[in-house]
């Protein structure tokens, strides 16, 4: 029996009995030590994308070399720069001698060759081209080292304490212990942020193949599950001798998107098999349950000395929870609104909360805000209202 399959069964038993995630993780680590010969990967995590909820974790904080999966951080930094107006995807990038000499996966860029940033990013994310990564890094930051520092700054901004980059592409070109490092959990956070802030990146990561160099060349995706797994549309594969076989995958079914991270698999077949097992298990046992939409009315709040007698309290954000399929009917909601609120109130001002629980566990809470602004009336207007 392969380890991930066994660990998934253990996790089901743990969740059913209410065991905390830390206890489950410790159980899996002990089991891994006893069955080291059967361990199929070094670390794995499964997330629900909208809420970021961890559905499964095995060695989530184990430091690992990420290989080319770290190109997700390169893509995130590029998209941030585009959003800030620092660069455009139509900017022309000219290839330096340094970029043209990078080894590993590449599209064989030539020194002096020029093409838009959009095409370079496509080469990096579809074909995992290391030479394109260096060209992008130099265009944005002047040097690959400066761009790596920018990637590290973004990691700190995201609160990632165990992630460090020394280059733009993920190659192990530094001594062991001094190279790129992350964890399955933190790599998942990079992927979740990318999908949350720039969902358009799926237009690139979902490409099985695409034209390059004005059609003179065809890029083929390194993610073979795009052809075989229902709903799969990203995100990034990776391999080095230090990292093993890695894959950050994402798929969407029935309105729920999952993100899987598998690090340190023994070979490509195992990497893909364990990714499929994680995602299939997640879709089989969990569902995203939409409870309310942003702006939905949750009740009226009476206003003291208001120009109008009451104001509508509405949800500030959409509310959805991720549950095991059998838990849907066990949900409880609690509306917290004051009987009366002093005027004035401003549109969007907090008035209360909607809390959703499963048993004694709080699953989610959303602010209830004023639908519109209501002014306070003066003493004279208040007196005249009685006549």
256-265 β-sheet, strand order: 54-58, 43-48, 256-265, 244-253, 232-240
CA-CA-CA-CA torsion for 296, 302, 307, 308, nearest 10 degrees?
A: 50
User: Active site includes 141?
Assistant: no
DSSP of 283-315: HHHEEEEEEE-TT-EEEEEEEETBSSSEEEEEE
Average pLDDT over residues 292-317: 94
Say which residue the tokens 């184990």 belong to.
Answer: 62
Q: Give me the residue spans of the domains in the chain.
A: 40-288, 293-384
Single out the catalytic residue among 128, 141, 205, 260: 128
In the structure, what pLDDT confidence band is assigned to residue 329 with cuts at 50, 70 and 90? confident
Q: Does 386 have pLDDT greater than 80?
A: no
Q: For residue range 265-295, what is the model confidence (pLDDT) as tens digits?
A: 999 999 999 999 999 999 999 998 888 899 9
User: Residue 5 has what pLDDT?
Assistant: 34
Say which residue the tokens 């709080």 belong to.
Answer: 362
In the structure, what pLDDT confidence band is assigned to residue 20 with cuts at 50, 70 and 90? very low
Average pLDDT over residues 166-170: 98
Least confident of 47-56, 185-194, 325-334, 361-370: 325-334
Q: For residue range 205-248, what is the model confidence (pLDDT) as tens digits?
A: 999 999 999 999 999 999 999 989 999 999 999 999 999 999 99
Over pLDDT 70: what percentage of the chain? 88
137, 143 in Cβ contact below 8 A?
Answer: yes
Q: Does 77 have pLDDT greater than 80?
A: yes
In the structure, what pLDDT confidence band is assigned to residue 12 with cuts at 50, 70 and 90? very low
Higher pLDDT pick, 385 / 162: 162
Q: For residue range 356-371, what is the model confidence (pLDDT) as tens digits?
A: 999 889 988 999 999 9
Topology of the domain comprising 40-288: Beta-lactamase (3.40.710)
Q: Does 8 have pLDDT greater than 70?
A: no
Q: Does 384 have pLDDT greater than 80?
A: no
Average pLDDT over residues 300-326: 92
Which regions of 133-205 does DSSP assign to beta strands (E)?
none
332, 358 in Cβ contact below 8 A?
Answer: yes
Could you tell me whether strands 286-292 and 331-336 are parallel, antiparallel, or unpaired per DSSP bridges?
A: unpaired
Single out the catalytic residue among 68, 141, 205, 221: 68
Least confident of 5-19, 158-172, 183-197, 305-319: 5-19
Q: What is the assigned CATH class of domain 293-384?
A: mainly beta
Structure tokens at 232: 């799969």
Q: Does 328 have pLDDT greater than 90?
A: no
User: Active site includes 68?
Assistant: yes
Single out the catalytic residue among 28, 71, 122, 154: 71
Higher pLDDT pick, 21 / 244: 244
């Amino acid at each position: 029996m392969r380890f991930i399959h066994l660990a998934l069964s253990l996790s089901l038993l743990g969740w059913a009995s209410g065991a905390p995630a830390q206890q489950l993780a410790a159980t899996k680590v002990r089991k891994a030590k006893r069955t080291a010969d059967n361990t199929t990967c070094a670390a794995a995590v499964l997330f629900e994308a909208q809420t970021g909820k961890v559905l499964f974790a095995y060695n989530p904080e184990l430091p690992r070399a990420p290989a080319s999966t770290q190109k997700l951080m390169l893509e995130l930094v590029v998209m941030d720069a585009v959003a800030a107006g620092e660069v455009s995807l139509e900017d022309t990038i000219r290839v330096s001698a340094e970029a043209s000499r990078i080894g590993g996966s590449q599209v064989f860029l030539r020194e002096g060759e020029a093409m838009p940033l959009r095409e370079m990013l496509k080469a990096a994310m579809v074909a995992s081209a290391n030479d394109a990564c260096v060209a992008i890094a130099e265009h944005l930051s002047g040097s690959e080292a400066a761009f790596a520092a920018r990637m590290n700054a973004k990691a700190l901004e995201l609160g990632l304490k165990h992630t460090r980059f020394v280059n733009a592409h993920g190659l192990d070109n530094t001594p062991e212990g001094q190279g790129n490092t992350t964890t399955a959990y933190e790599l998942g956070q990079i992927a979740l942020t990318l999908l949350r802030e720039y969902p358009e990146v799926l237009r690139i990561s979902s490409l099985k193949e695409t034209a390059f160099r004005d059609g003179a060349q065809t890029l083929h995706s390194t993610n073979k599950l795009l052809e075989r797994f229902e709903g799969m549309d990203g995100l990034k594969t990776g391999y080095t001798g230090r990292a093993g076989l890695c894959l950050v995958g994402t798929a969407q079914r029935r309105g729920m998107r999952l993100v899987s991270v598998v690090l340190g698999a023994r070979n490509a077949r195992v990497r893909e098999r364990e990714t499929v097992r994680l995602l299939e298990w997640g879709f089989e046992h969990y569902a995203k349950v939409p409870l309310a939409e942003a702006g939905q009315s949750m009740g009226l709040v009476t206003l003291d000395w208001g120009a109008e007698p009451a104001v509508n309290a509405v949800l500030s954000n959409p509310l959805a929870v991720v549950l095991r399929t059998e838990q849907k009917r066990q949900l409880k909601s609690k509306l917290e609104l004051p009987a009366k609120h002093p005027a004035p109130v401003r549109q969007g001002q907090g008035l209360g909360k909607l809390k959703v629980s499963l048993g004694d566990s709080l699953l989610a809470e959303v602010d209830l805000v004023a639908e519109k602004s209501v002014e306070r009336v003066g003493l004279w207007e208040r007196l005249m209202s009685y006549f």
